[in-house]
């Protein structure tokens, strides 16, 4: 898998604390580490780090970004 984005950072979530009481696909039970998430975004703590790209959205501006996942 390739991830292409115009965002400067990616957050990774490993589902370590996943506790899903609702059955999933085919009745499967999903517990800790049963999935992952890659979320393209600005750097965490960007508002407090002057050398990071800005994460401020000013009135009248539109937030938009592109993330593309490619599977070979």
Chain segment 34-44, per-residue pLDDT in tens: 889 999 999 98
**In the chain, how many domains are there?**
1
* Euclidean distance between CA atoms 33 and 36, whole angstroms: 7
As given in the structure block, the two tokens for residue 51 are 């050398």
Chain segment 26-69, per-residue pLDDT in tens: 999 988 998 899 999 999 899 999 999 889 999 999 999 999 99
Residue 67: domain span:
1-72
pTM of the model: 0.70
Cβ atoms of 7 and 67 within 8 Å: the answer is yes
């Amino acid at each position: 898998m390739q991830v292409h984005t115009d965002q400067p950072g990616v957050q990774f979530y490993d589902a370590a604390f996943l506790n899903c009481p609702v059955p999933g696909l085919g009745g499967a039970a999903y517990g800790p580490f049963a999935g992952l998430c890659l979320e393209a975004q600005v750097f965490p703590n960007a508002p407090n780090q002057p050398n990071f790209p800005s994460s401020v959205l000013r009135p009248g501006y539109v937030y938009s970004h592109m993330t593309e996942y490619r599977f070979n």
